[in-house]
Amino acid sequence: MNSTLKLNVFNTICAIAFCFGLLSVPYMASAQDEEGEVIPELAPASKDAIFKEQASYKLSVKNTYNIPQEGTIGYIVTAKGGKEVKRDFIKVNIAKKSSATYNFNITGLKSGFYKVKFAINVSYYDDTIPKVFGIRAEEIRSAYPEPADFDQFWNTTKAELAAIKPDFKMELLPDSMQKTSRRAYRIEMRSIDSIIIKGYLTVPKRKGKFPVLLGLPGYQVSVAPLFGVDDDLAILTLDVRGQGMSRGKINTIRDMFIAYHIEDKERYVMRGVIMDCLRAVDFIYSRPEFDHDKIIVSGGSMGGFLAIAASALDDRIKLCSSQNPIMSDIRNLPGEVDWPINDLETYVKTQPGLSFDKILNNLDYYDTKNFATRVKCQTLLGIGLLDNLVPPNNAYVVYNNLVNAKKRHIIVFKDLAHEIGQEYINYDGRWLRDTFGLF
C-alpha cells in the first residue's frame, strides 16, 4: 500500500471515530506530515553473507516523516524448493524525524544457503528486501556421485581428438581491425568430429615469448578480438562449435543448443565443445612465440564451465579463472532454476522414448563438479549469491570439489546475480601478473 493511500485510510478512520464520539478531535494529517520517506538499510555482519553458526543482520530504518511509523519488522527464511524454515517479527514504533536499528540473529540452521526476505510494514511504508545467506558453506557437498567410468569416457574422447589432424591456420586481419601495439589474426583449426572452429588472436608487436590468455565464450555468444592494455600477453578468444564463426554443421536456434544430441553422451554437443577448448591449447603449443608454461583459461557462465572442464582434462593449463560456471551439480538444479531445465524438458518431449532420467544420466559426464575434482592448477572462482542460473549451493559444491587444485580462491558477491564485480576483475589481473611474473 503506498503512503498516500495509507494516509487517506487513516484520516477516514479518524473521521468515523469522531462521528461516534470516540475521538474528541479528528486527526487530519497536514501536508507537512505527508512529506518524507522511510529509508531502510540492511547490512549482514559478514562481508560475503556467509556465516559459521548464525546469520546476523542489522536493519536500520530512517523515518523522515513528521509523524511516527508504527508496525512490524521481521524476516522469513526459506530453503530449497521455497520451504519455510524460520521466521521472526517484532512490533516497532519509530519516532518522527528519527532512526532506529534492529539486530536479527538467525540460528539453528543446517549447512547450506538460504533465501531470506526482510519485511518492513509500518504506517507509510510496506516492502521486502530479498537476500541470500550461507551457513558453513565449506561443508556443502553434492548428494550425487560421478559416473564410475568418468575418466575412461574422457580419456577415450581425448584420444579421438588427438587422432584428428588440426590443420592450424592464421590470417592477418585487415588494417581496420588492427591496433597500434598489437597484431590481430583470425585463426582456424580442425577439432573432434572433423569440425572446423575459429577464433581471434591478438599478439603484442614487440619481440618476446608471451603468456597466453585463452578466453572461452558464454552461451551462444560470439567472440571478438581482445586487445587489452598490456603488451606482454597474447589473447586468444574462441568461437566453439555452433557459435559465432564456428557455426556450420551445428547451427541450432538459441534455446536448443544446450540440448543438441543430449540423448547420446557420445554425440552431445558439449563433448565437442570441450574438445574445441583443448584443441585451442594445442594451437597455443604449436606457436613458438608463446610461453607454453604460462597459459590461463578464463570464462563466465558457459565459459566458466568450459574453463574448469578444460583445466581438468589438460594439465598444460596453469591458471583457471571461472565465473558463475553453469552445469554445476546438475541433478540439484530442477526446482531451483528455469534454465537449462526448461529447455531440456522441452527437448525430451520432442524425442520419442527419451526420458529426463536418461538426460540426467548423460549429463553426469558433463557436470562441473565432477571436472572440479580433477583440476590441479591454481583456480579462481567468482559467484553471485543471487544467481538465477547457478545457485550458491551448486557453486559451492564445485568450489569444495577443487581439492586437488594447487591453490584455490573464491570471491563471493552477496548482492549480484549471474555476474561478477570489479573486485574479481582486479584480483584476477593481479593474480595473473604475479603468478606469471609480469611486472
Nearest to 257 by CA among 225, 223, 217: 217
CB contact at 8 A, 89 and 102: no
Q: Domain 150-436, CATH 3.40.50.1820 — does that match?
A: yes
Residue that the C-alpha cell 565459459 belongs to: 303
List Cα–Cα distances, 405 to 144, 233, 365, 409, in angstroms.
21, 24, 20, 10
pLDDT above 70 as % of the chain: 92
pLDDT of res. 100 = 97
Q: 36-136 — its CATH code?
A: 2.60.40.10
The pLDDT of residue 32 is 54
The x, y and z cell numbers of residue 376, run together, are 590441479
For residue 397, the tally of other CB atoms under 10 A from its CB is 23
Residues of the chain with CATH 3.40.50.1820: 150-436
What is the rounded distance in angstroms from the CA atom of residue 133 to the CA atom of residue 84? 15
What average pLDDT is seen over the chain?
92
pTM of the model: 0.90
Alpha carbon distance 76, 211 (integer Å): 50
Tell me the CA distances in angstroms from 403 to 263, 365, 369, 394, one per residue in order. Answer: 31, 19, 11, 16
* Residue 229 pLDDT: 67
Kindly write down the DSSP assignment for every residue of 3-30, as one continuous string: HHHHHHHHHHHHHHHHHTTS-SS-----
Q: Is the peptide bond before 340 cis (omega within 30 degrees of 0)?
A: yes
CB atoms closer than 10 angstroms to residue 293: 10
Q: Do the Cβ atoms of 256 and 268 come closer than 8 Å?
A: no
Where in the chain do CATH 2.60.40.10 domains reside?
36-136
Quickly list H helices, 195-301. 269-286
pLDDT at site 33? 59
Annotate 341-386 with DSSP letters as a single string. HHHHHHHHHHSTT--HHHHHHHHGGG-HHHHHTT--SEEEEEEETT
pLDDT at 377 over 80: yes
pLDDT, position 97? 97
pLDDT per residue as tens digits for the range 326-364: 999 999 999 899 999 999 999 999 999 999 999 999 999
